[in-house]
């Protein structure tokens, strides 16, 4: 009887230890999830809203003829004032995973592809299959301080949790330095949220 009692006590002790470990794991996962939610809410509050651009109202004076008083002059041609604004896009909240966030990043900036890789060429995230070879080739060029050898490709240095990474942006239109900085900042937010 004593041997049966001891074996039953050992089984109950093992069950108790497993239950405690499971509760500890669940508590850690819950803490990480709540931290992500809090970070996401903080990032959303800190993100500045795009300023509204007011449109000039047309003149109410009736046009009576060219050069006469009350004529409406033709609108002046606006000079391009730098880079056009990008639309406000929620990169995190409406994406099911990191690839969804990268897809929304590509839509936001008009990119045909965006790859994030380690400096030794390992793909962290990409939308296109077969991007491993591109990541390895471009990482090698970046390490050797060479410019991209493909048209429409730009390199971005991205730091994530103390690790330097390489962003590889592919676009059909030129990407000015200011726009590349915006893309890099958004890529860092995506990495911070998902990884």
Whether 2 is in a domain gets the answer: yes
Whether 23 is in a domain gets the answer: yes
Question: How many separate domains does the chain show?
Answer: 2
Whether 72 is in a domain gets the answer: no
Contacts of 191 (CB under 8 A, 6+ apart): 98, 116, 124, 158, 160, 165
Give the per-residue pLDDT at 4.
81
Mean pLDDT of 164-170: 92
Q: Are 37 and 104 part of one and the same domain?
A: no
Whether 88 is in a domain gets the answer: no
80-119 confidence digits (pLDDT tens): 456 677 788 888 888 899 999 999 999 999 999 999 999 9
Q: Are 117 and 187 part of one and the same domain?
A: yes
Rounded to 10 deg, the angle between the 2-46 and 177-194 helix axes is 160
Whether 140 is in a domain gets the answer: yes
Whether 158 is in a domain gets the answer: yes
Q: Are 183 and 103 part of one and the same domain?
A: yes
Structural domain range at position 166: 98-194
110-143 confidence digits (pLDDT tens): 999 999 999 988 999 988 887 888 889 999 999 9
Whether 161 is in a domain gets the answer: yes
Whether 142 is in a domain gets the answer: yes
């Amino acid at each position: 009887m004593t041997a049966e009692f001891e074996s039953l006590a050992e089984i109950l002790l093992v069950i108790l230890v497993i239950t405690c470990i499971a509760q500890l794991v669940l508590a850690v996962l819950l803490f990480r999830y709540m931290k992500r939610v809090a970070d996401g809410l903080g990032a959303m509050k800190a993100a500045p809203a795009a300023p509204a651009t007011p449109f000039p109202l047309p003149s109410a004076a009736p046009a009576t003829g060219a050069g006469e008083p009350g004529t409406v002059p033709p609108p002046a041609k606006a000079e391009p004032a730098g880079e056009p604004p990008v639309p406000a896009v929620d990169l995190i909240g409406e994406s099911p995973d990191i690839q969804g966030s990268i897809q929304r990043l590509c839509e936001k900036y008009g990119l045909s592809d965006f790859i994030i890789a380690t400096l030794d060429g390992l793909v962290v995230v990409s939308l296109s299959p077969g991007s491993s070879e591109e990541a390895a080739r471009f990482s090698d060029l970046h390490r050797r301080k060479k410019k991209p050898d493909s048209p429409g490709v730009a390199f971005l240095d991205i730091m994530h949790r103390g690790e330097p990474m390489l962003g590889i942006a592919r676009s059909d239109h030129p990407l000015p330095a200011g726009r590349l900085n915006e893309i890099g900042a958004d890529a860092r937010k995506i990495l911070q949220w998902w990884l």
